[in-house]
Amino acid sequence: MSTLPKTSRPAKSATTTEPPPRPSTLTDARLRVVLLVSVHAGAEERFLHAYEQLSQQVAAVPGHISDQLCQSIENPSQWLITSEWESAPPFLSWVESPEHREMVKPLHGCVEDTRSLRFSVLRETFSAKEAAGRRAAPPVQLAPRVGDGLVRHALTFTVKPGSSRCVAKILADYAAPEARVDENTRLCRTSLFMSGNRVVRAVEVKGDLVAALRHVARQPEVRAVEEAINPHLEEDRDLDDPEAARDFFMRAALPVVHHLTADPSRPPNLRRHMLLYPVKEGCGPAVASLLARQDDLAVTKPKAAMASDGGEGQHTIVSSTVFQRDDIVVRMVDMDVPLDRDLAVAAGVSGPRAAAVLGRLLDARLLDAGANGKKKIDLSSEAGLRRFLTDCDMEPVTDRRAADY
């Protein structure tokens, strides 16, 4: 955790005028998932049979609307699976579950390669006849979000008690891998943070994320680091066993559930922070949804409100990414002001009532301060927000960027 300096700037008042909340991409828009699949030659029938079994199971998952299986008319080895979901949280909860990992095992022997893409539904069009006969559909995303051309992904794992310093040194000292993957893909940035015995590593890629991750895994310097930290991991792994390695990295995956960029030009001298939220059991999706809404609000608030914070013409948060798996929720923010300049925005509670709602979803016992007998987390006062951010702000270990990023 980090230590915030004291400043004379007060916490934002709950009476500050805010724009009306807009629908959240995470919870209020339908989700379309596209899975590109390369099937081994001769395994098409086995793949089709495995899909038919899987589709029957998926149909019973809460939040699932429909799915389709398509085969390329040009290359029979190329397949496409599309599915539609009521919103992102039901899909993310299912796809990261042990049940999902068991469901898809029959596909492993048939499939050579996959690529998964996830989209919120922005607009849709029907013929006049079909539109007249359709019942009201779940909502679509109302407005497009600004992008910066990057795809993000994170991994998280825990190390054995007492080994954090050793692991941090290993992870900080290795030589950076080659940034260029191919003519279309390059590794732009890798940020690694620790809090207690938990490690979070986030990557930003221009192009194909899967290709970039495979490129990194093949680099000798990266392989040496992974082998060096193996004895320190709480969960054993065998990187020489492809199936065991795949299972480990699937369990360690911390997917992006929300991202927004206020300024895609990436202004210089931004401050990057990784906040690890102490989530109550079963509340991970709710916390991720709340943080997504609050960051939408913070980025879209009027410039007049920003000027009152002393940052005329600038956004306090330039970029925000929420990663979530089960009850592990991490929020990575790039800020153009110190973390304590606007405590509520930094904590993700800039809107009315957000502090009270988030406070009910968090568990003080998971923070260092919880050991002192504190029963709840105070997000309503400057002192409480400052203490909360100090506890949640993870320690940076390394932040590597490509030379032209």
Q: What is the pLDDT of residue 394?
A: 96
Is 290 in contact with 348 (CB distance < 8 Å)?
yes
Q: What is the pLDDT of residue 336?
A: 87
Q: What is the pLDDT of residue 156?
A: 95
Q: What is the pLDDT of residue 192?
A: 95
Q: What is the pLDDT of residue 108?
A: 83
- Reported as type and span, the H/E element at residue 78 is strand 78-85
Q: What is the pLDDT of residue 139?
A: 57
Q: What is the pLDDT of residue 284?
A: 93
Q: What is the pLDDT of residue 180?
A: 86
Q: What is the pLDDT of residue 379?
A: 93
Q: What is the pLDDT of residue 271?
A: 92
The beta-carbon contacts of 119-128 under 8 Å, at least 24 apart in sequence, are 119/31, 119/32, 119/33, 119/34, 120/25, 120/29, 120/30, 120/31, 120/32, 120/88, 121/29, 121/30, 121/31, 121/32, 121/84, 122/29
For residues 97, 99, 104, 108, the Cα torsion angle rounded to the nearest 10 degrees is 80
Q: What is the pLDDT of residue 211?
A: 84
Burial of 364 (0-12, 13-18, 19+ CB in 10 A): buried
Strand 186-195 and strand 198-206: the pairing is antiparallel
Question: How far does CA 205 lie from the centroid of its chain?
Answer: 14
How far apart, in Å, are the Cα atoms of 194 and each of 172, 217, 272?
11, 21, 14
Instruction: For residue 104, give both structure tokens.
Output: 């898809």
pTM across the whole model: 0.77
- Where do the DSSP E strands lie in 172-327? 186-195, 198-206, 253-254, 256-261, 271-277, 317-325
Residues of the chain with pLDDT under 70: 1-28, 129-147, 301-315, 368-375
CA 186/CA 204 separation, integer angstroms: 9
Q: What is the pLDDT of residue 304?
A: 41
- Reported as type and span, the H/E element at residue 400 is strand 395-401
Write out pLDDT tens, residues 298-348: 877 644 454 455 545 556 888 899 999 989 999 999 998 888 889 999 999
